[in-house]
Amino acid sequence: MTQAPPPSPERNLIPEPDRLDSGLKDFLRLSGGNILYCLSALSVLYGIAEILGPQLLKSTDSTSGFLCVGALNAYELSVLGILIFIVVVHRVMDDAVTLVLLIPPFLVGSAVALVTIAYNNPELALSIGAVCAAVGIGKIEALRRWIGLRVNWIAFIGLGLVVVWNFLTGVLLVKASVSDNAPDLDTRGWWLACLLFLLLSGLLVLSQMILAADKETDPRTPFLRRASMFQCFSLLLFSALGIHLYALSYIFHVPTSPGDFLLFATLCTLMLVEVIFQSTEDNGDAAAIIAAFPLSLAVVGVFSGVFSAPRALNLEILGHPLSSAILGSVGMVWFALRTRSQVSGWVAGAYLLGVIFFMGYSPGNLSSLNWISSGTTLVIALFVGGLVFKKSSLCLVAVGLAAVGSTEFPAYRDFWAQLDVGAGTGILWILGLGFVSIALWFREDDLLPLGVISVVILVFAAFTTFEPVLQPRDWVSIALLIGVGLVLYMRFHHLALPVILLIPILERLWKAVDSLGNWWFVILGFGLLVSGGWFSSIKGRQAKAEELQDEG
């Protein structure tokens, strides 16, 4: 008798207390520092925001603002000190990433707090701003020298310029607004000049992000000392500067519109593209899709009327959608050449098309958009792309756009008007003949459905062209349909294609016979006579062949 197996031990679904304690300790050991750093930063920022809120509205007492500036700079120096301590002394690289990313928002927060001091004592605020700018540049140098942030001299100049802009712009605007010439102050001109300075500095940083970009191959290199870390730091800094730029427009009552911020948003998006491409396994497709976001905003903004800046050769051009399209096209063309990504190429092409589309646009006037030029360029680009890359689908889209868009050309409308045919019928003829051309040019095996669709479209085009009374132009249509049927049969060797085209041909021939009356019997007689002669010739050739065979 076999012995029964021992009972399996019951599985305890509730973890043991010792195991819970061990897991909690491991979690706190690995992530506790990052959590505490984030909570610390949130606590300081919340407290400073609550203190500065009334100051931004009243601007009567500079004591609180002075204390806030001091507290923010002291916190930044503390963050930098702890950062150097844990990196240089203890070689803790993962927690250091969080501390590096805390520096940009506090740089901007210090500058915003400085504006509250500037109203009561602009000279003192200017001196404090100069000191803060110098300290800020020193912080970047410390990050480069001791932390290992990959900042070359080009990027250092760009970051240094934005640090100076960050601390001195608001103070200079306050000083100008309280001067004797304040009534004549062009706040929008000042704000646009500040935007231009920020953009030029950002282009220096972006160039470094692109030129120093590399897919890190050594897994031992910590993220803190990769090019991706510098890119993330720069992206976060410029995102915070964008908030600062908006705050300046709010504080100084600058007349702006959402479209004025699109160019700066495009710059930040190009930075984000570099971060995604370098920090992930993306081949460029996902980053390119994100890069199309500013162009989409520009198109939506044009139709929503959010742009107010005129197209002029002055600072107002910064708020025009054309500027964003130019910056995006340059950035994405270079990105597409680097990544060889097909999606990046399409996004770059879309930006180039946007340059043509927005050129000449006047805010509020949709008719000033270059519909015809951009549409023609798009059709040509799709045709060329389809032929070069052997994509019949691209040519199909091009034919469809050309058929619909051709109605915008006066010459097209005049041509069909002379034939006494509507524009809709012309679209059918262009679609049908265009699809036939694609089916003949591309030697793909699955294009038979396209041939069927093309002949069906041509049948509808023929019937909408025909009138109840037979017209001389009908014979041109019949000859065209016969030719199309023959070439499609030679291409696909399918009898259904020419048979379908026989429907309008037979209908016109019946109209022709009916219009001849009894004369068609005479014509039929001539036809039968010729047919009889043809059969006789066949009979003669066969007899001659038999004689030659018998003689042989």
Structure tokens at 273: 């593209």
pLDDT value of position 447: 85
Burial class (CB in 10 A: 0-12, 13-18, 19+), 44: buried
pLDDT for the residue 380: 93
Question: Looking at residue 37, what is its pLDDT?
Answer: 87
Cβ within 8 Å of residue 343, ≥6 positions away: 284, 285, 288, 289
With residue 290 as reference, give the H or E element that holds it.
Answer: helix 285-291
Q: Please check whether residue 251 is in contact with residue 313, taking contact to mean a CB–CB distance below 8 angstroms.
A: no
According to the model, what pLDDT value does residue 424 have? 83
Residue 151 φ then ψ, to 5° = -120, 115
Whole-number Å distance between alpha carbons of 301 and 310? 14
Point out which residues pair with 365 in neighbouring strands: 362
Angstrom distance (rounded) from CA 229 to CA 233 = 6
CA–CA distance, 143 with 159 (Å, rounded to integer): 12
Q: How far is CA 64 from CA 47, 71, 133, 136, 477, in A?
A: 12, 10, 20, 22, 86
- The one-letter code for the residue type at 79 is V
Give pLDDT < 70 ranges for the chain. Answer: 1-33, 54-62, 180-184, 213-219, 282, 311-312, 445, 468-470, 511-524, 552
- Size of the chain in residues: 552
Token pair listed for 392: 């019949």
